[in-house]
Amino acid sequence: MQVVSCNSFGPVADLVVEDRPSQPVGGGQVRIGVTAAGVNFVDGLFVQGLYQIKPPLPFVPGGEVAGVITELGEGVTTHAVGQRVFASTGLGGFASEVVWPASRVMHTPDALTDGQAATFVQSYGTAWFALHHRARATAGESLLVLGAGGGVGLAAVDVGRAMGLHVIAAASSEAKRALATSYGAEAVIDTSSEDVKTRAKELSGGGVHLVYDPVGGALAEAGLRSLRDDGQLLVIGFAGGEIPKLPANQILLRNRRVTGVDWGGWVGGHQQENQQLLADVLAAIERGELHPVEPTVYALTNVASALQDQLDRKVTGKSVLVP
Ligand SMILES: NC(=O)c1ccc[n+]([C@@H]2O[C@H](COP(=O)([O-])OP(=O)(O)OC[C@H]3O[C@@H](n4cnc5c(N)ncnc54)[C@H](OP(=O)(O)O)[C@@H]3O)[C@@H](O)[C@H]2O)c1
């Protein structure tokens, strides 16, 4: 099997693609022949040693895969060889095959390509958890999505539109804004040239109900200042690299709220609830209400370019590695 190995924390260019013997399939496990491995922002952080969790070296990055079952371990009756499946692996996904517990391998619905199946769980899990569970958003509210052309941002545009929210998408490039518009954003803000607070207030008639922020830095404060009375800033992540320090007076004013969204952390202690969340997302996809983006494809051997492009804000939507 072919794997991407991180042998030391550092630049993504130091990743090594190597051949290794296949792992044996144990009882209750299945082997997945990987056809697409989803790339997430966090993968680049893992490799650089910049994530709060530092895996023991060497490790194989990659948190999401899709593919086909090629072998069943003893006792597995829920799956069959040849079935299309997807799984969240946390690590180990940047490989031509993955051995994983059958109980955590889901069937890929016909509505999804392998590329979509390998990229929707983290992005839609986060967006759904943020808007349904944390914000408890209701139809008719306004939602400003920052980083709206990226993975978790675009998913929030999609989930927000499906919930009946009025979505304003903020992004730095024309391509990202156009993609967000095609996902139902009613208005866009160019973060490279426009003042986000001023434009968001203009577009929403005085302030938005919700801001979804996966970027952080100065944009977070602009988002906070865009909120109307009782509005909520959803703290998703810090792709911009800077963890913002928000002025408390801007939270006090207009009775605003700042809400943490740690979907990844929540999943650990809420496996059953997360299964329900994913079932809800899948049901919405199958009803045609949600549309995970078709990702940009990179060869597995081109992993360094894929991760560097993500870190350099060059990926519009999502990307996958194909062995
Ligand atoms: N809270 C949770 O449970 C959870 C779950 C998943 C991910 N996350 C976090 O959410 C963040 C975004 O993840 P993602 O997968 O959506 O990433 P992504 O696809 O790379 O999108 C991030 C967006 O952030 C913007 N950005 C601004 N400054 C940037 C910079 N210096 N470097 C990179 N991007 C920059 C870019 O949009 P513009 O070019 O338009 O500025 C980019 O499209 C990450 O911090 C990730 O760790 C959180």
Alpha carbon 319 to its chain centroid, in Å, reads: 11
Ligand 1, atom 8: nearest CA belongs to which residue?
237
Q: Partners of 167 in the beta sheet?
A: 143
Q: Name the nearest CA neighbour of 167 among 216, 127, 222.
A: 127
Q: Is 41 in the pocket of ligand 1 (CB under 6 A)?
A: yes
The CA distance from 295 to 39, in Å, is 9
> Ligand 1, closest atom to CA 310?
20
Q: Is it the case that residue 309 has pLDDT exceeding 90?
A: yes
pLDDT of residue 52: 86
Ligand 1, atom 26: nearest CA belongs to which residue?
240
Q: Is 46 in the pocket of ligand 1 (CB under 6 A)?
A: no
pLDDT of residue 221: 98
Residue with tokens 């090629």: 70
Ligand 1 pocket: which of 183, 215, 293 to mutate (most atoms <8 Å of CB)? Answer: 215
Residue-wise pLDDT for 114-141, tens only, equals 999 999 999 999 999 999 999 999 999 9
The CA distance from 37 to 91, in Å, is 11
Q: How far is CA 228 from CA 18, 46, 53, 186, 256, in A?
A: 53, 37, 36, 18, 8
> How remote is the CA of residue 127 from the centroid of ligand 1, in Å?
12
Confidence of residue 244 (pLDDT cuts 50, 70, 90): very high
- Domains recognised in the chain with CATH numbers: 2-119+293-322 (3.90.180.10), 122-264 (3.40.50.720)
Residue-wise pLDDT for 34-53, tens only, equals 999 999 999 999 999 999 89
| SS3 of 144-160 | EECCCCCHHHHHHHHHH
Q: Which distant-in-sequence residues (6+ apart) come within 8 Å of 78 by Cβ? A: 102, 103
Confidence of residue 55 (pLDDT cuts 50, 70, 90): very high
- Average pLDDT value for residue range 298-305: 98
What is the pTM for the complete model shown?
Answer: 0.97
The CA distance from 14 to 11, in Å, is 6
- Average pLDDT value for residue range 153-175: 98
